[in-house]
Structure 1
Amino acid sequence: MSKRFLLTTLAAACTVALPSLAQGRTVALSTTLKDYGGDGAYLAVYLTDAQGAYLRTLWVAGGKAKYYKHLADWNRLSASDGQRLQGVTGASVGAGRTLEVTAELEDALIDAGYELRVDAAAEDMRDSPSEIRVPLTAANAGSPQTGKQYIQSLTYQLQ
């Protein structure tokens, strides 16, 4: 067999095999805020493992980095992640408004002990670290989760 034939065969095999190793789903998140009567809220949506260790940031609502310290749990856990904000930021979310975002997650994270967390903070109001903590499971998909202070509901769908 020629070297070229072997390389072509290897490339074709990788093309077929690699997508099955990295199977994933789109997760659609919908977060509705309470009408709390204040300025727009900053939110950090992120994943932790079963021991509470940070895995990655899915979305950060709020554009001024100087306020990220108020998203205390996320800020502390993700501090060493140099990529934590790359491609996952947007405007803050107004009271009574809904934030809708999507993220790509590996199938292996679902029903495997991972947790979806949301930290929240609003200017001149109390911070709410771990406003919502919900296990990332197929059973929780579509079930609204209530927050402690700012979030009326968070729902995620697995697509």
Structure 2
Amino acid sequence: MRKGIRNTMIVGALGAAAFTGGTAFAEGGSNKASSQDNPLVQRGCVIRFDTQSRTGTTVPRIHSNSKHYCVGVTAEPTVDDQGRLVVRTDGGDQPVVSIAVSPDETLTAKGITCGGSGGTGKTVIACYDRNGKPVRADSPTIHGKYANLWLTWTTWEK
């Protein structure tokens, strides 16, 4: 057998071994096959940046009413010393499956994008402008009457 064909067959066999039931498994990971019976927990909340303190800093808050529910967030968001948004959730011992942080059209028009880190009881969210410069979650830049950050967590129920 030619060397190129043998190498292709070996790579193909290794690739096939890495997939079981359509799910890829990373070395040392805790990957689970997809199933409608998986014990997944959904959390979600809208954080609004429409409130300002007397000194002019923006005060992020949970936006919840008859049209917007906040599920699984345990306290009002805070801002850490680096200007990142900190959101606390229940289920702190549940492994994270995914986190989505989505700026709405008001923040997007300002060129603000955000990303989350963590997710097991506490998520830290950093925001940036069009040039990649950090935007503090308590800055006047992020403030807006309808400026919303949509958050979604999917975790594995233990």
Whether these two folds match at TM > 0.5 is no
Structure showing the higher strand proportion among its residues: 1
Larger radius of gyration: 2
Greater relative CO, 1 or 2 (CA 8 Å, sep 6+):
1
What range describes the TM-score normalised by the shorter chain of this pair?
Answer: under 0.3
The structure richer in helix per residue is 1
TM superposition score normalised by structure 2: 0.27
